[in-house]
Structure 1
Amino acid sequence: MRVGLTGGSPRGRARCRRCCASWGAVVIDADQLAREVVAAGTPGLARVVEEFGAEVLTADGELDRAKVGTIVFADEQRRRALEAIVHPLVFERIVELEAAAPDDALVVHDIPLLAESGRADTFDAVVVVEAPPEVQVERMVRDRGWTRADAEARIAAQATPEQRRAIATHVIDNTGSLADLRRRVIEVVAELTGR
Protein backbone atom coordinates (compact mmCIF):
# COMPACT_ATOMS: atom_id res chain seq x y z
CA MET A 1 0.00 0.00 0.00
CA ARG A 2 1.33 3.43 -1.01
CA VAL A 3 0.51 6.23 1.42
CA GLY A 4 1.25 9.93 1.00
CA LEU A 5 2.12 11.73 4.24
CA THR A 6 1.92 15.50 3.98
CA GLY A 7 1.51 18.76 5.86
CA GLY A 8 3.22 22.14 5.73
CA SER A 9 6.35 23.15 7.60
CA PRO A 10 6.52 22.27 10.50
CA ARG A 11 3.44 20.30 11.40
CA GLY A 12 4.85 17.04 12.78
CA ARG A 13 5.48 14.89 9.72
CA ALA A 14 8.90 13.83 11.04
CA ARG A 15 7.37 12.45 14.22
CA CYS A 16 4.66 10.70 12.19
CA ARG A 17 7.28 9.31 9.83
CA ARG A 18 9.33 7.88 12.72
CA CYS A 19 6.23 6.34 14.26
CA CYS A 20 5.29 4.69 10.94
CA ALA A 21 8.83 3.33 10.57
CA SER A 22 8.70 1.89 14.10
CA TRP A 23 5.59 -0.03 13.00
CA GLY A 24 7.52 -1.54 10.09
CA ALA A 25 6.55 0.81 7.27
CA VAL A 26 9.03 1.58 4.51
CA VAL A 27 9.42 5.34 4.70
CA ILE A 28 10.52 7.43 1.73
CA ASP A 29 11.41 10.98 2.77
CA ALA A 30 11.11 13.37 -0.18
CA ASP A 31 12.91 16.17 1.73
CA GLN A 32 15.90 13.89 2.37
CA LEU A 33 15.95 12.82 -1.27
CA ALA A 34 15.75 16.48 -2.33
CA ARG A 35 18.92 17.11 -0.30
CA GLU A 36 20.67 14.07 -1.79
CA VAL A 37 20.00 15.01 -5.42
CA VAL A 38 21.62 18.45 -4.95
CA ALA A 39 24.52 17.34 -2.74
CA ALA A 40 28.02 18.60 -3.55
CA GLY A 41 29.33 17.10 -6.78
CA THR A 42 25.95 15.98 -8.15
CA PRO A 43 24.55 16.91 -11.56
CA GLY A 44 21.52 18.31 -9.68
CA LEU A 45 23.65 20.85 -7.83
CA ALA A 46 25.37 21.84 -11.06
CA ARG A 47 21.98 22.57 -12.62
CA VAL A 48 20.87 24.63 -9.59
CA VAL A 49 24.07 26.70 -9.79
CA GLU A 50 23.54 27.18 -13.52
CA GLU A 51 20.02 28.49 -12.82
CA PHE A 52 20.64 30.55 -9.67
CA GLY A 53 24.34 31.39 -9.76
CA ALA A 54 27.30 30.45 -7.58
CA GLU A 55 26.06 32.71 -4.77
CA VAL A 56 23.75 29.88 -3.67
CA LEU A 57 26.78 27.83 -2.61
CA THR A 58 28.45 27.79 0.78
CA ALA A 59 32.22 28.20 1.09
CA ASP A 60 32.41 24.38 1.18
CA GLY A 61 30.61 24.02 -2.17
CA GLU A 62 27.36 22.81 -0.61
CA LEU A 63 23.97 24.25 -1.48
CA ASP A 64 23.10 27.10 0.90
CA ARG A 65 19.55 25.92 1.55
CA ALA A 66 18.64 28.97 3.63
CA LYS A 67 19.72 31.34 0.85
CA VAL A 68 17.85 29.35 -1.80
CA GLY A 69 14.78 29.22 0.47
CA THR A 70 14.81 32.99 0.85
CA ILE A 71 14.91 33.36 -2.94
CA VAL A 72 12.31 30.79 -3.94
CA PHE A 73 9.74 31.38 -1.23
CA ALA A 74 9.61 35.07 -2.12
CA ASP A 75 9.24 34.48 -5.89
CA GLU A 76 6.93 31.82 -7.31
CA GLN A 77 8.66 31.79 -10.71
CA ARG A 78 12.04 31.10 -9.08
CA ARG A 79 10.45 28.41 -6.91
CA ARG A 80 9.04 26.70 -10.00
CA ALA A 81 12.47 26.87 -11.66
CA LEU A 82 14.00 25.09 -8.67
CA GLU A 83 11.20 22.51 -8.60
CA ALA A 84 11.71 21.81 -12.33
CA ILE A 85 15.28 20.77 -11.51
CA VAL A 86 14.80 18.92 -8.23
CA HIS A 87 11.43 17.16 -8.59
CA PRO A 88 12.32 14.90 -11.56
CA LEU A 89 15.54 13.82 -9.82
CA VAL A 90 13.66 13.03 -6.61
CA PHE A 91 11.03 11.10 -8.56
CA GLU A 92 13.74 8.87 -10.09
CA ARG A 93 15.01 7.99 -6.60
CA ILE A 94 11.47 7.33 -5.35
CA VAL A 95 10.88 4.83 -8.17
CA GLU A 96 14.12 3.03 -7.25
CA LEU A 97 13.23 2.86 -3.53
CA GLU A 98 9.68 1.66 -4.17
CA ALA A 99 10.96 -1.07 -6.45
CA ALA A 100 13.21 -2.30 -3.62
CA ALA A 101 10.35 -2.48 -1.04
CA PRO A 102 8.72 -5.84 -0.25
CA ASP A 103 5.48 -6.49 -2.15
CA ASP A 104 3.37 -6.48 1.05
CA ALA A 105 4.95 -3.35 2.56
CA LEU A 106 3.20 -0.23 3.75
CA VAL A 107 5.20 2.39 1.88
CA VAL A 108 4.85 5.85 3.39
CA HIS A 109 5.96 8.76 1.22
CA ASP A 110 6.70 11.87 3.28
CA ILE A 111 5.98 14.63 0.74
CA PRO A 112 5.59 18.11 2.23
CA LEU A 113 4.14 19.62 -0.96
CA LEU A 114 1.84 16.76 -1.99
CA ALA A 115 -1.23 19.00 -2.26
CA GLU A 116 0.73 21.46 -4.39
CA SER A 117 2.10 18.73 -6.69
CA GLY A 118 -1.30 17.48 -7.87
CA ARG A 119 -0.13 13.87 -7.28
CA ALA A 120 -2.37 12.95 -4.32
CA ASP A 121 -4.48 10.65 -6.49
CA THR A 122 -1.44 8.44 -7.19
CA PHE A 123 -1.57 7.10 -3.61
CA ASP A 124 -3.85 4.53 -2.02
CA ALA A 125 -4.34 6.89 0.96
CA VAL A 126 -3.22 10.37 1.99
CA VAL A 127 -2.47 11.30 5.61
CA VAL A 128 -2.43 15.03 6.35
CA VAL A 129 -0.73 16.29 9.52
CA GLU A 130 -1.94 19.72 10.50
CA ALA A 131 -1.38 22.49 13.02
CA PRO A 132 -2.68 26.06 12.94
CA PRO A 133 -0.53 28.62 11.08
CA GLU A 134 0.29 30.50 14.30
CA VAL A 135 1.69 27.26 15.78
CA GLN A 136 3.72 26.66 12.61
CA VAL A 137 5.23 30.16 12.76
CA GLU A 138 6.07 29.76 16.44
CA ARG A 139 7.81 26.43 15.75
CA MET A 140 9.85 27.82 12.83
CA VAL A 141 10.99 30.82 14.84
CA ARG A 142 11.73 28.78 17.98
CA ASP A 143 13.13 25.56 16.49
CA ARG A 144 14.73 26.73 13.25
CA GLY A 145 15.80 30.25 14.16
CA TRP A 146 13.88 31.81 11.28
CA THR A 147 12.51 35.30 11.31
CA ARG A 148 8.76 35.68 11.61
CA ALA A 149 8.66 37.15 8.07
CA ASP A 150 10.54 34.16 6.60
CA ALA A 151 8.23 31.72 8.41
CA GLU A 152 5.12 33.52 7.20
CA ALA A 153 6.46 33.65 3.61
CA ARG A 154 7.06 29.88 3.71
CA ILE A 155 3.53 29.21 4.92
CA ALA A 156 2.02 31.59 2.36
CA ALA A 157 3.79 29.71 -0.46
CA GLN A 158 2.24 26.40 0.59
CA ALA A 159 -1.22 24.91 0.18
CA THR A 160 -3.90 26.06 2.58
CA PRO A 161 -5.24 23.74 5.29
CA GLU A 162 -8.47 23.48 3.27
CA GLN A 163 -6.55 22.38 0.16
CA ARG A 164 -4.72 19.71 2.16
CA ARG A 165 -7.89 18.43 3.82
CA ALA A 166 -9.48 18.11 0.36
CA ILE A 167 -6.93 15.40 -0.55
CA ALA A 168 -6.89 13.68 2.86
CA THR A 169 -7.99 10.16 3.59
CA HIS A 170 -6.96 10.72 7.22
CA VAL A 171 -6.18 13.92 9.15
CA ILE A 172 -3.84 13.98 12.14
CA ASP A 173 -4.08 17.00 14.42
CA ASN A 174 -0.68 17.90 15.86
CA THR A 175 -1.63 20.53 18.41
CA GLY A 176 -1.64 18.18 21.41
CA SER A 177 1.11 16.28 23.17
CA LEU A 178 3.59 13.88 21.58
CA ALA A 179 1.66 11.02 23.18
CA ASP A 180 -1.55 12.28 21.51
CA LEU A 181 0.22 12.40 18.14
CA ARG A 182 1.66 8.88 18.52
CA ARG A 183 -1.73 7.50 19.53
CA ARG A 184 -3.40 9.00 16.44
CA VAL A 185 -0.62 7.80 14.10
CA ILE A 186 -0.92 4.28 15.52
CA GLU A 187 -4.70 4.36 14.91
CA VAL A 188 -4.19 5.45 11.30
CA VAL A 189 -1.45 2.87 10.61
CA ALA A 190 -3.58 0.13 12.15
CA GLU A 191 -6.50 1.11 9.94
CA LEU A 192 -4.33 1.24 6.83
CA THR A 193 -2.74 -2.15 7.50
CA GLY A 194 -5.85 -3.87 8.86
CA ARG A 195 -4.13 -4.70 12.17
Structure 2
Amino acid sequence: MTHAVAQPWILGLTGGIGSGKSAAAQVFVDLGVHLVDADQAARWVVEPGRPALAAIAGHFGEGVLQADGTLDRAALRELIFKDPAQRVWLEALLHPLIREEIAAYLAKAQSPYAILVSPLLLETTQHAMVKRVLVIDVPEAIQIQRTVARDGSNEEQVRAILKAQATREQRLSRADDVIVNDRDPAWLKSEVERLHHFYLTLCGGQS
Protein backbone atom coordinates (compact mmCIF):
# COMPACT_ATOMS: atom_id res chain seq x y z
CA MET A 1 0.00 0.00 0.00
CA THR A 2 1.44 3.36 -0.96
CA HIS A 3 1.25 6.15 1.56
CA ALA A 4 0.05 9.54 0.38
CA VAL A 5 2.81 12.10 0.68
CA ALA A 6 1.99 14.50 3.49
CA GLN A 7 1.27 18.05 2.37
CA PRO A 8 4.12 20.35 3.42
CA TRP A 9 3.19 22.54 6.36
CA ILE A 10 3.74 26.26 6.03
CA LEU A 11 6.12 28.35 8.14
CA GLY A 12 5.53 32.10 8.20
CA LEU A 13 8.77 34.12 8.28
CA THR A 14 8.51 37.77 9.23
CA GLY A 15 10.42 40.60 10.87
CA GLY A 16 10.62 44.36 10.74
CA ILE A 17 12.55 46.37 8.16
CA GLY A 18 16.32 45.80 8.42
CA SER A 19 15.89 42.70 10.60
CA GLY A 20 17.60 40.37 8.12
CA LYS A 21 14.49 38.51 6.90
CA SER A 22 15.93 38.18 3.41
CA ALA A 23 19.28 36.87 4.67
CA ALA A 24 17.52 34.26 6.83
CA ALA A 25 15.21 33.33 3.95
CA GLN A 26 18.23 32.76 1.68
CA VAL A 27 19.73 30.28 4.17
CA PHE A 28 16.47 28.28 4.14
CA VAL A 29 16.51 28.30 0.31
CA ASP A 30 20.11 27.06 0.33
CA LEU A 31 18.94 24.21 2.58
CA GLY A 32 16.40 23.20 -0.08
CA VAL A 33 13.26 24.65 1.49
CA HIS A 34 10.56 25.87 -0.90
CA LEU A 35 9.98 29.57 -0.31
CA VAL A 36 7.41 32.10 -1.49
CA ASP A 37 7.93 35.83 -1.00
CA ALA A 38 4.70 37.82 -0.48
CA ASP A 39 6.35 40.96 -1.91
CA GLN A 40 7.13 39.10 -5.14
CA ALA A 41 3.57 37.73 -5.28
CA ALA A 42 2.31 41.32 -4.93
CA ARG A 43 4.42 42.28 -7.97
CA TRP A 44 3.33 39.25 -10.02
CA VAL A 45 -0.40 39.95 -9.68
CA VAL A 46 -0.08 43.37 -11.35
CA GLU A 47 2.03 42.30 -14.31
CA PRO A 48 0.78 43.26 -17.80
CA GLY A 49 -1.82 40.81 -19.08
CA ARG A 50 -3.06 39.98 -15.57
CA PRO A 51 -6.66 40.95 -14.68
CA ALA A 52 -5.61 43.10 -11.71
CA LEU A 53 -3.67 45.54 -13.89
CA ALA A 54 -6.63 46.02 -16.25
CA ALA A 55 -8.92 46.62 -13.25
CA ILE A 56 -6.51 49.19 -11.76
CA ALA A 57 -6.19 51.05 -15.08
CA GLY A 58 -9.99 50.92 -15.52
CA HIS A 59 -10.54 52.40 -12.07
CA PHE A 60 -7.76 54.99 -11.85
CA GLY A 61 -7.30 55.75 -15.53
CA GLU A 62 -4.38 55.23 -17.91
CA GLY A 63 -2.25 57.64 -15.87
CA VAL A 64 -1.24 54.76 -13.60
CA LEU A 65 0.41 52.95 -16.51
CA GLN A 66 3.89 53.61 -17.85
CA ALA A 67 4.55 53.92 -21.58
CA ASP A 68 5.46 50.21 -21.80
CA GLY A 69 2.13 49.18 -20.24
CA THR A 70 3.52 48.27 -16.82
CA LEU A 71 2.18 49.71 -13.58
CA ASP A 72 3.53 53.11 -12.55
CA ARG A 73 3.84 52.39 -8.83
CA ALA A 74 4.83 55.94 -7.90
CA ALA A 75 1.72 57.38 -9.61
CA LEU A 76 -0.52 54.81 -7.95
CA ARG A 77 1.07 55.39 -4.55
CA GLU A 78 0.43 59.12 -4.94
CA LEU A 79 -3.28 58.52 -5.68
CA ILE A 80 -3.92 56.18 -2.76
CA PHE A 81 -1.85 58.31 -0.41
CA LYS A 82 -4.18 61.26 -1.03
CA ASP A 83 -7.40 59.26 -0.69
CA PRO A 84 -7.73 56.52 1.95
CA ALA A 85 -10.93 55.22 0.28
CA GLN A 86 -8.90 54.43 -2.86
CA ARG A 87 -6.38 52.50 -0.78
CA VAL A 88 -9.26 50.43 0.64
CA TRP A 89 -10.52 49.75 -2.91
CA LEU A 90 -7.05 48.72 -4.08
CA GLU A 91 -6.42 46.43 -1.10
CA ALA A 92 -9.83 44.78 -1.55
CA LEU A 93 -8.86 44.01 -5.17
CA LEU A 94 -5.26 42.92 -4.56
CA HIS A 95 -5.21 41.08 -1.21
CA PRO A 96 -7.35 38.11 -2.35
CA LEU A 97 -5.33 37.86 -5.60
CA ILE A 98 -2.04 37.96 -3.71
CA ARG A 99 -3.32 35.23 -1.37
CA GLU A 100 -4.28 33.06 -4.39
CA GLU A 101 -0.86 33.64 -5.95
CA ILE A 102 0.91 32.71 -2.70
CA ALA A 103 -1.27 29.60 -2.26
CA ALA A 104 -0.58 28.46 -5.84
CA TYR A 105 3.19 28.77 -5.34
CA LEU A 106 3.13 27.12 -1.92
CA ALA A 107 1.17 24.21 -3.42
CA LYS A 108 4.17 23.43 -5.67
CA ALA A 109 6.40 22.72 -2.66
CA GLN A 110 8.30 19.43 -2.68
CA SER A 111 10.07 20.05 0.64
CA PRO A 112 8.68 18.71 3.99
CA TYR A 113 7.71 22.25 4.91
CA ALA A 114 7.50 25.47 2.91
CA ILE A 115 8.00 29.10 3.87
CA LEU A 116 5.95 32.22 3.29
CA VAL A 117 8.15 35.29 3.78
CA SER A 118 6.10 38.42 4.40
CA PRO A 119 6.89 41.73 6.09
CA LEU A 120 3.13 42.10 6.73
CA LEU A 121 2.41 38.51 7.76
CA LEU A 122 0.77 39.55 11.02
CA GLU A 123 -0.78 42.81 9.74
CA THR A 124 -2.81 41.08 6.98
CA THR A 125 -4.84 37.86 6.76
CA GLN A 126 -1.74 36.07 5.42
CA HIS A 127 -1.02 34.68 8.91
CA ALA A 128 -4.10 32.43 8.49
CA MET A 129 -2.13 30.49 5.83
CA VAL A 130 0.70 29.45 8.15
CA LYS A 131 0.98 26.83 10.90
CA ARG A 132 3.93 28.36 12.70
CA VAL A 133 5.56 31.80 12.88
CA LEU A 134 9.30 32.53 12.93
CA VAL A 135 10.21 36.13 13.76
CA ILE A 136 13.63 37.55 12.91
CA ASP A 137 14.01 40.10 15.67
CA VAL A 138 16.53 42.87 16.07
CA PRO A 139 16.87 45.90 18.37
CA GLU A 140 15.40 49.06 16.81
CA ALA A 141 18.75 50.91 16.79
CA ILE A 142 20.23 48.14 14.59
CA GLN A 143 17.15 48.17 12.30
CA ILE A 144 17.61 51.89 11.70
CA GLN A 145 21.38 51.63 11.22
CA ARG A 146 21.10 48.72 8.72
CA THR A 147 18.27 50.25 6.72
CA VAL A 148 19.95 53.66 6.42
CA ALA A 149 23.15 51.93 5.24
CA ARG A 150 21.29 49.66 2.78
CA ASP A 151 18.76 52.06 1.24
CA GLY A 152 20.50 55.37 1.72
CA SER A 153 17.31 56.58 3.42
CA ASN A 154 17.40 58.85 6.43
CA GLU A 155 16.56 57.96 9.99
CA GLU A 156 13.23 59.83 9.89
CA GLN A 157 12.01 57.80 6.87
CA VAL A 158 13.00 54.55 8.56
CA ARG A 159 11.16 55.51 11.75
CA ALA A 160 8.02 56.25 9.69
CA ILE A 161 8.21 52.74 8.15
CA LEU A 162 8.71 51.21 11.60
CA LYS A 163 5.54 52.96 12.81
CA ALA A 164 3.53 51.43 9.94
CA GLN A 165 4.68 47.88 10.76
CA ALA A 166 3.66 45.82 13.77
CA THR A 167 5.71 46.67 16.86
CA ARG A 168 8.43 44.31 18.08
CA GLU A 169 6.25 43.43 21.06
CA GLN A 170 3.25 42.56 18.85
CA ARG A 171 5.40 40.40 16.58
CA LEU A 172 7.16 38.61 19.42
CA SER A 173 3.89 37.90 21.23
CA ARG A 174 2.73 35.89 18.19
CA ALA A 175 6.02 34.14 17.41
CA ASP A 176 6.51 30.40 17.85
CA ASP A 177 10.23 30.80 17.19
CA VAL A 178 12.52 33.82 17.37
CA ILE A 179 16.03 34.48 16.05
CA VAL A 180 17.61 37.64 17.46
CA ASN A 181 19.74 38.66 14.50
CA ASP A 182 22.17 41.05 16.19
CA ARG A 183 25.39 39.16 15.41
CA ASP A 184 27.20 38.21 12.20
CA PRO A 185 25.91 36.32 9.13
CA ALA A 186 27.69 33.08 10.15
CA TRP A 187 25.76 33.06 13.42
CA LEU A 188 22.46 33.71 11.61
CA LYS A 189 23.24 30.78 9.28
CA SER A 190 23.91 28.42 12.19
CA GLU A 191 20.66 29.50 13.93
CA VAL A 192 18.61 28.91 10.75
CA GLU A 193 20.25 25.50 10.27
CA ARG A 194 19.43 24.57 13.88
CA LEU A 195 15.77 25.53 13.39
CA HIS A 196 15.63 23.77 10.02
CA HIS A 197 16.64 20.46 11.64
CA PHE A 198 14.01 21.01 14.32
CA TYR A 199 11.34 21.80 11.68
CA LEU A 200 12.10 18.56 9.86
CA THR A 201 11.02 16.68 13.01
CA LEU A 202 7.66 18.45 13.23
CA CYS A 203 4.43 17.09 11.90
CA GLY A 204 2.12 19.80 10.58
CA GLY A 205 4.24 22.50 12.20
CA GLN A 206 3.61 21.27 15.74
CA SER A 207 5.90 19.19 17.92
Q: TM-score range by the shorter chain?
A: 0.7 to 0.9
Deviations 1:141-169 (A, max 9, x none): 32223343332222211111111111111
Q: Deviations over 1:61-81 (max 9, x none)?
A: 433445655776798665544
Q: What secondary structure, in the 3-state scheme, does the structure 2 residue paired with 1:5 have?
A: strand
The letter for the 1-side match of 2:182 is T
Match of 1:27 among 32, 35, 38: 35
- The CA distance in 2 between the partners of 1:10 and 1:51, in whole Å, is 34
SS of the equivalent of 1:8 reads coil
Which stretches in structure 2 are left out of the alignment for 5+ residues?
A: 1-8, 203-207
Match of residue 5 from structure 2 = none
Equivalences for residues 40-189 of structure 1 within 5 A: 40-50=48-58, 54-65=62-73, 68=76, 79-102=87-110, 105-189=112-196
* TM-score normalized with structure 2 length: 0.78
3-state secondary structure, aligned to 1:109: strand
Rounded Cα–Cα distance in structure 2 between residues aligned with 1:137 and 1:79: 27
Q: 1:55 to 1:29 in 2, by over 3 A?
A: same
Which amino acid is the alignment partner of residue 45 of structure 1? L
CA distance in 2, matches of 1:194, 1:100: 21
Following superposition, the deviation at residue 54 of structure 1 comes to 4.8
TM-score normalised to structure 1 length? 0.82
Question: Which amino acid counterpart does residue 110 of structure 1 have in structure 2?
Answer: V
Task: Indicate the larger mover: 89-98 or 77-86.
Answer: 77-86
The residue type paired with residue 177 of structure 2 is H
Counterparts of 2:55 and 2:199 in 1: how far apart (Å)?
A: 39
Quick check: which one's helix share is greater?
A: 1
Compare CA radii of gyration and give the structure with the larger one.
2
User: Which amino acid letter does the alignment assign opposite residue 17 of structure 2?
Assistant: S
1:111: how far off?
1.5
Higher mean alpha-carbon deviation, 66-75 vs 80-89, is at: 66-75
- Aligned position for 2:205: none
The 1:85/1:162 distance shift into structure 2, 3 A limit, reads same
Contact 2:29 2:35 survives alignment (8 Å): yes
Q: 1:57 to 1:157 in 2, by over 3 A?
A: farther
Give the match for residue 15 of structure 1.
23
Q: By how many angstroms is 1:26 displaced?
A: 0.7
| Matched residues, number | 194
Q: Give the unaligned 5+ runs of structure 1.
A: none
Find the aligned partners of 2:92 and 2:71 in 1 and give their Cα distance. 17
Indicate the percent of aligned positions where both proteins have the same amino acid. Answer: 36
Q: Which range moved further: 89-98 or 30-39?
A: 89-98
SS of residue paired to 1:85: helix
Q: 1:145 to 1:122 in 2, by over 3 A?
A: same
